[in-house]
Amino acid sequence: MPLAKTFSFIKDKFPESVYDVTESSGEQIFHIRSEVVRDVLEIFKEKGFNFLADITAIDNLTLGGFERYAVVYHLLSHDSLERVTVKAYVAEDKPSIPSVEKLWKTADWQEREIYDLFGITFDGHPNMVRIMNPDDFTGHPLRKDYPRLGNKERDDYPVIKPAFKRK
Amino acid sequence: MKITEKPLETERMVLNFGPHHPSTHGTLRIIMELDGETVVKATPEIGYLHSGFEKLGEDLDFNQYITITDRMNYLSPLCNNVAYALVAEKLMDIEVTKRTRYIRVLLSELSRIADHILNIGMLAVDLGALTSFLYGFRLREDIYDLFEMATGTRLTTSYTLVGGLMRDLPEGYGKEVNRVLVETDKIVNDIETLLNKNRIWQDRTKEIGVISKEDAISYGLSGPMARASGIDWDLRVKEPYSSYEDFDFDVVIALNGDVFDRYLVRTEEIRQSMKICRQALEKMPSGDVIIDPGLGYSLPPKDEVYNSIEGLIYHFEVTMPNRGMMPPVGEAYVPTESPNGELGFYLVSDGTRTPYRVRTRPPSLMNYSIFSKLIEGHMLSDAPAIIGSINVIAGELDR
Amino acid sequence: MDQDYIKSNVLTTTLESAINWGRKHSLWPMPFGTACCGIEFMAVLASRTDLARFGAEAIRFSPRQSDLLIVAGRISIKMMPVLIRIYEQMPEPKWVISMGACASSGGVFDTYSVIQGIDRFIPVDVYVPGCPPRPEGVVDGLMKLQKKVGKEKLSDYTTSNTS
């Protein structure tokens, strides 16, 4: 089983950067500091986790965690059919994390999505601009302190009147 | 001076393709830099259908969100329903009945047929062949009728519940499915006869948009896109969910990774799905389609709710705020094989009746991200072929 | 001229009803399909519910060639400027069908990025309810619009208030 071996290998290499290893619904979750995320994922990639299935983020405002934001990486090994979740914690005052775009191209758009929706910047990303919302959008909607109905963005358009009188 | 001595020089032109363009199937926008008719650089811009699915999910409870998942991939809504029900069940550690699982497989495979047939039809329309679209849509209407029999609606099905299904299949459903499957076989054969050896079709699709194996993995491609590039990866076989291990079918793989191969993979997958449907009907077990309501995770049958006071009280117990379905604190990720690829839901729960975070792993987003690489160096007229073969669903792409 | 010739060859009508008759039986729709309703709109055009029976099968994807805008699907805040521009590009006379709950009212998507009904910003003539509406519903909406077009007054078009 490469998973257990990889865990201990990473723990030995970055002893102070690994917070914890937990399990939820039968899946291993690896909690780390955000600074080492690129090195850790590179090790995972070398050990056979060749497929980055998904990147997402969580705002831990009321959930609780090691820091305010967590960037979540779902890795998959096509050979050993194992999955692992890596959670990298990002501080609230300076939300930034190294980009893994060089390791997997799929990270490009997903990191832009996280930047757009959570406001976490990715260092080393070639094109860190909004992807889902318009460029003049303010705020980051998936943060827990952003209201679901928004800040009146959806009402801010000119009203077009019919050019001719209609009954 | 002869004209031929110096090749023609043109200034580069920037062309705005979309967001409202007939071949973008909705709302994609691509800014293309052209040298003559050759695309030098393409920058896709997405987000024109961003509707805040994930924010909405944080305010709806687990059964309510199933209705929202219909609107995500609207070509095969049942696959989304099943995927979301699976992740909620994994989070709450619920084991559903065997009949539930078989019905889910049957309907997922029917949606796969409907999805692939529309995709092939639209791809053909974009390249100028209207007939196969009309053939395909006739079949799709038949499959809509099957969905309507089972779920009550054509498109937005909302058929699954956490812990089971909304209701059982109606009487005589197997006979109807078999009739449609016979029709499917005919229509797929017709479309193949029209297209496979068609000279224009081959010229427009062969060696267009070739994806290598390494690129497919690096860009996170899955489903027919990855399998057309020679990657033997099908979640139904590799990580079976919902009793897929009981069924005997082949994983379809092609080697060239071009538009033509993606089309071939999809047509062959339709045949494999038909095989699974027939097996599911044959082996369909009897029993309930919802888990015991006593566990506190599922709604009681409607019959009891309307006709007995206990049922009504129990219904309120489950649906009232701060009561009923309370999952444990934790998180779960379930990948499923949707017609487009790995459709995963990631749920984080803080122990209340609404999830803390709902994330969808949209296969369209990953599949579409390779587009700018594929189109480079091709002609402008190849763009619709490549977009069509990727099968981008804007609802899933932008969420 | 003899009476028989006039009876079989001359029709008297008003200019208004002749023009409206022509307009209502040859609506050229431009489908602005964004989401699920766009798929149902395809079903409206396909073999079973053939829209050609109502003279509206000439689908044009250019706003300059069409006089009926069918907005099918949810409109996000990023898409709204595009929709406004397309509406303004269409030549008069023009009509708008708002197909489905999302275009009419935002539907289930009460979120920060979905416009809560396109009629807040552009005029709408016919609303088709449903999420998504059945093809029969869309055909019904089109027939309602035809009735409306048939009742229009030419005098309405002379008073311009484009300011």
Per residue in B148-161, pLDDT (tens digit) is: 988 888 888 888 88
Residue B73 near residue B340 (C-beta atoms within 8 A): yes
What pLDDT score was predicted for residue C158?
Answer: 59
A149 interaction partners in chain C (CB closer than 8 Å): 110-112
A27 touches chain B (CB under 8 A): yes
B75-85 pLDDT, tens digit per residue, is: 888 999 999 99
* Residue A150 falls inside a structural domain: no
What pLDDT score was predicted for residue A163?
Answer: 67
C161 interaction partners in chain A (CB closer than 8 Å): 161, 163-165
A137 interaction partners in chain C (CB closer than 8 Å): 77
A154 interaction partners in chain C (CB closer than 8 Å): 77, 112-116
B70 touches chain C (CB under 8 A): yes
* Residue A132 falls inside a structural domain: no
Residue A20 has pLDDT above 50, yes or no: yes
A155 touches chain C (CB under 8 A): yes
Domains of chain B from N-terminus onward: 13-43 (no CATH), 53-93+96-290+330-398 (1.10.645.10), 291-327 (no CATH)
Pair of tokens at residue C106: 């935002």
Q: Residue B270 — very low, low, confident or very high, per pLDDT cuts 50/70/90? A: very high
* Residue A111 falls inside a structural domain: yes
Pair of tokens at residue A19: 């917070």
- Label residues C94-104 b or e (16+ Cβ within 10 Å = b): bbbbbbbbbbb
Residue C163 has pLDDT above 60, yes or no: no
Q: Range with the lowest mean pLDDT among B249-253, B254-258, B271-275, C149-153?
A: C149-153
The amino acid at B297:
Y
The dihedral region occupied by A81, where left means phi > 0, alpha psi between -120 and 50, and beta the remainder, is left
Burial of A26 (0-12, 13-18, 19+ CB in 10 A): exposed
Do A167 and C93 lie within an 8 Å CB cutoff? no
Residue C159 has pLDDT above 60, yes or no: no
Is the predicted ipTM greater than 0.90, yes or no?
Answer: no
Q: Residue B109 — very low, low, confident or very high, per pLDDT cuts 50/70/90? A: very high
Per cent of chain B over pLDDT 70 is 95
Chain A: residue nearest C155 by CA? Answer: A165
* Residue A82 falls inside a structural domain: yes
B16 touches chain C (CB under 8 A): no
Chain C: residue nearest B27 by CA? Answer: C34
C106-151 pLDDT, tens digit per residue, is: 888 888 888 888 888 888 989 999 888 988 999 999 999 999 888 8
Residue B127 has pLDDT above 80, yes or no: yes
A63 interaction partners in chain B (CB closer than 8 Å): 348, 350, 356
Identity of the residue in A26, A52, A132 whose CB atom sits nearest the CB atom of B50:
A132
User: Which has more pLDDT, C132 or B319?
Assistant: C132
Per cent of chain A over pLDDT 90 is 5
What pLDDT score was predicted for residue B35?
Answer: 84
A105 touches chain C (CB under 8 A): no
Q: Range with the lowest mean pLDDT among A73-77, B291-295, B378-382, C68-72?
A: B291-295
Identity of the residue in C80, C88, C160 whose CB atom sits nearest the CB atom of A164:
C160
Identity of the residue in B56, B333, B350 whose CB atom sits nearest the CB atom of A27:
B333
Give me the CATH number covering residue A96. Answer: 3.30.460.80
Residue B2 has pLDDT above 60, yes or no: no
A105 interaction partners in chain B (CB closer than 8 Å): 215, 218-220, 369-370
Residue B248 has pLDDT above 70, yes or no: yes
* Residue A142 falls inside a structural domain: no
Do A150 and C113 lie within an 8 Å CB cutoff? yes
Residue A62 has pLDDT above 70, yes or no: yes
Residue B293 has pLDDT above 70, yes or no: no
What mean pLDDT comes out for the span B254-273?
91
Residue C162 has pLDDT above 80, yes or no: no
Pair of tokens at residue C156: 């309405």
pTM: 0.89
What pLDDT score was predicted for residue B5?
Answer: 63
A45-59 pLDDT, tens digit per residue, is: 888 888 888 899 998
Pair of tokens at residue A162: 């019919």
Tell me the shortest Cα–Cα distance from A136 to chain C, in angstroms.
10
Identity of the residue in A25, A104, A142 whose CB atom sits nearest the CB atom of B332:
A25
A125-163 pLDDT, tens digit per residue, is: 888 888 888 888 888 888 888 888 888 778 778 888 776
Q: Could you give the CA distance from residue A10 to residue B244 in angstroms, rounded to a whole number?
A: 35
Residue B43 has pLDDT above 80, yes or no: yes
* Residue A102 falls inside a structural domain: yes
Task: Report the length, in residues, of chain C.
Answer: 163
Q: Could you give the CA distance from residue C80 to residue C34 in angstroms, rounded to a whole number?
A: 12
Structural domain of A32: 3-123
Residue B18 has pLDDT above 80, yes or no: no
Residue A34 has pLDDT above 70, yes or no: yes
Residue A5 has pLDDT above 80, yes or no: no
The residues that bridge with C33 in the sheet, in sequence order, are C72
Q: Residue B181 — very low, low, confident or very high, per pLDDT cuts 50/70/90? A: very high
Residue C124 near residue C118 (C-beta atoms within 8 A): yes
Do C78 and B68 lie within an 8 Å CB cutoff? no
C86 touches chain B (CB under 8 A): yes
Residue B378 near residue B386 (C-beta atoms within 8 A): yes
Chain C: residue nearest B54 by CA? Answer: C111
Per cent of chain B over pLDDT 90 is 15
How far lies B193's CA from each of B190, B228, B306, C47, C49, in Å? 5, 21, 54, 20, 26
Identity of the residue in C39, C42, C114 whose CB atom sits nearest the CB atom of B52:
C114
Q: Residue B209 — very low, low, confident or very high, per pLDDT cuts 50/70/90? A: confident
Count of pairs with CB atoms under 8 A, one residue in B, one in C: 93
Nearest alpha-carbon partner for B140 in B125, B126, B155, B127 = B155
* Residue A139 falls inside a structural domain: no
Pair of tokens at residue B67: 């209705």
* Residue A154 falls inside a structural domain: no
Residue B1 has pLDDT above 50, yes or no: no
A167 interaction partners in chain C (CB closer than 8 Å): 151-153, 156
Number of domains, chain A: 1
Q: Residue B295 — very low, low, confident or very high, per pLDDT cuts 50/70/90? A: low
Mean pLDDT (chain A) is 84
Q: For an interface test with C, which of B71, B138, B140, B144 has the most C Cβ atoms less than 10 Å from its Cβ? A: B71
What pLDDT score was predicted for residue B268?
Answer: 92
